[in-house]
Amino acid sequence: MMTLRQVLAGSAMLTMTVASFALHAQVQPFTVEGQMGKDQQGMLSYRYVSLNKIVQDSVKVINGAFRFSGEVDEPAATTLIFMPENKSIKGQFKEIFIDPGATLTMKGDANLLSTQTKGGPSQSDLDALFELYKPLSVKGPELEKQFKEYQDAGDEANMKRVGQQLQDLRLERRNIQEAFAKKYLNSFVGFSLWTRHVDGFIKDPVKYEAEFNAYSPAVRNTPTGKRIALNLATARKLLAGTQAPDFTLNDINGKPVSLSSFKGKNVLLCFWNRNFIPFEPFSFALNKISRVLKDENLVILAVYCDDDQKRWHSEVEEAGFTTPNFINVINPVKQSAEADTTPIGKSYNLSLGMIPHNFVIGTDGKILVRDIDLGLEPEVAIGKIINK
């Protein structure tokens, strides 16, 4: 049977967002009771997320039996790894879905992979999804085996042919996901398939709000649902034509600088830090924008998302962000992962993985474009935008 790890891997069929931000959630207890073949002895480790924290522990497996319990604030994907006492036997991996308040039973007559899991609506939905994947779970390994054989033989023509079949298989998986997410509107599993479109940069909040509202209140009121609702509301406020949220931060000389003070100028507002790769093309792109558009009434307002001022000064100098149209300010968060906890972070929908991020703001203080691609001649794109 296909495991959730296979689903979440590079050829992803399902993307869970269970590691959500807890928004005043109430935890409820759960219990997992398992019985494998009585010859199975060893340790079973388990891992899940509750209240935005990773919970990790292990229990003994004696004569195939194991039991563990805990508390979760919403349906949670739980990773199980069984390590047999007999070291000649490979460990086994399985994932299940736990609902708050549920008791799950896992029964099988051999190893962990033989067990069938029962209990809770989310586990039933996950089983239904895996049933849809069954034909693909046979094709996938066969094609991967063929591809490796052709690769070892240096047969590029057949590698290309099988590679295309693998791409077609991934498209088929994606179509299954989309159909499942549309059909299972009272399912956290279906909702999790959908949320991969809205975790992070939300380009079309109007479209996604309609899709979000199609899910049942029970799903929308989970911590993940509440977080997505907040992200959608924030994204609406950042659409082109809306007033850019104002803020005041200290510049590199310790003097306060407000976004609103640049009305009458075009502004490239860029949130950044040094904790991403590759940084060099990013800094090169900003410097090129500064150089090429220096006479176009453009100010680059570079917001460094960290509280290490010493490092900030050195990074600004090393990156060359020192020309007159660069205004360097600092958002005093401990690290970029906490950017969304500050007023400016909440206003601009910042979070880990959303930095660097940028906005082009017009002379009237309204957003013109969000998230210019800095890898594709951004100086040309910005020049066209501000000179319309």
Question: CA-to-CA distance for 300 and 321, rounded, in angstroms?
Answer: 9
Residue type, 332: P
Task: Return the pLDDT at 22.
Answer: 40
**Residue 209, CA atoms < 13 Å, CB-side half-sphere:** 12
* Higher per-residue confidence, 371 vs 73: 73
Does residue 213 surpass a pLDDT of 50?
A: yes
Q: What confidence tens digit (pLDDT) does each residue in 81-98 have?
A: 999 998 888 899 999 999
124 three-class SS: helix
Task: Return the pLDDT at 295.
Answer: 86
Rg (CA), the chain: 25
Residues 253-265, buried b or exposed e (16+ Cβ, 10 A)? eeeebebeebeeb
Task: Return the pLDDT at 2.
Answer: 38
Averaged over 24-53, what is the pLDDT?
92
Compute the mean pLDDT over every residue in the chain, rounded to the nearest whole number. Answer: 88
Q: What confidence tens digit (pLDDT) does each residue in 216-227 have?
A: 999 999 999 998
Does residue 101 surpass a pLDDT of 50?
A: yes
Q: What confidence tens digit (pLDDT) does each residue in 326-365 have?
A: 999 998 887 666 666 788 888 888 876 778 899 999 999 9
What's the token pair of residue 74? Answer: 């919403």
Give the model's confidence band at 164: pLDDT under 50 very low, under 70 low, under 90 confident, else very high: very high
Does residue 18 surpass a pLDDT of 60?
A: no
Question: Which contacts of 378-383 are long-range, i.e. CB under 8 A and separated by 24 or more positions?
Answer: 378/285, 378/288, 378/289, 379/285, 379/288, 379/289, 379/292, 379/293, 382/268, 382/289, 382/293, 382/298, 383/292, 383/293, 383/296
Question: CA-to-CA distance for 23 and 73, rounded, in angstroms?
Answer: 10
Which 8-state DSSP code applies to residue 251?
Answer: B
The model's pTM: 0.76
The structural domains of the chain, with segments of one domain joined by +, span: 1-189, 190-236, 248-386
Give the CATH number of domain 1-189. Answer: 2.60.40.1120
What's the token pair of residue 247? Answer: 């803020």
Averaged over 169-192, what is the pLDDT?
94
Does residue 321 surpass a pLDDT of 70?
A: yes
Task: Return the pLDDT at 344.
Answer: 87
* Residues written for the chain: 388
Averaged over 135-151, what is the pLDDT?
90
What's the token pair of residue 305? Answer: 């998302």
What's the token pair of residue 281? Answer: 């093309």
Task: Return the pLDDT at 299.
Answer: 95
Task: Return the pLDDT at 60.
Answer: 97
Q: Which of 139, 142, 147, 133 is nearest to 189 (CA)?
A: 133
Residue range 248-386 forms a domain whose CATH class is alpha beta
HEC sequence for 39-67: CCCEEEEEEEEECCEEEEEEEEEECCEEE
Does residue 7 surpass a pLDDT of 60?
A: no
What's the token pair of residue 206? Answer: 């109007």
* Higher per-residue confidence, 387 vs 11: 387
